[in-house]
Amino acid sequence: MQNRSQVLQEVQNNGLKLVELSYIFQNDREVVLAAVNQNGCALQYASIELRNDREVVLAAVSHDGGALEYASNKLQNDREVVLASVCQNGWALQYASNKLQNDREVVLATVT
C-alpha cells in the first residue's frame, strides 16, 4: 500500500494516475485536487462525492473545460462552473445542462 505523500507526488506528476488508486485516495480531497490541477480529466476517476464538490470541479474545468463531462448534474447546471468550463474550452458546452446550453451569457462566452 502506498502512503499518502507518495500518492500526492504521483498525481502531481500525472493526474490520470488517480485511476490506479484505491477508493480511499479517489475520495481524498487533497489528492483529487492535486490530480485535477495536473490534468482536469482526472476528475472522471474521483469519487462521486468529489465530482459534486464545487471547488474540485472548478479546478478541473479551469485546466480542461471538457472535464465538465465528469461533473455531477448539479454542477453541470452551475452557471459559474459552466462559464469557467466553456471559457477554457468552448466544446464543453455540450456537457452543460440544457438550461445553461440555452443561456445567452454562456453561449456568448463559448464563442469568444
Residue 29 backbone phi and psi in degrees, to 5:
-55, -45
**Joined grid coordinates for residue 100:** 445553461
- Please give the pLDDT value at position 42: 98
Residues 43 and 54: their CA atoms lie apart, in Å, by 12
Residues 8 and 87: their CA atoms lie apart, in Å, by 28
Q: At what angle do helices 54-63 and 29-38 cross, to 10 degrees?
A: 20
Location of C-alpha cell 473545460: 65
Residues 69 and 110: their CA atoms lie apart, in Å, by 16
pTM, entire model: 0.93
- Please give the pLDDT value at position 60: 98
- Please give the pLDDT value at position 58: 98
- Please give the pLDDT value at position 61: 98
- Low-confidence stretches of the chain (pLDDT beneath 70): 1
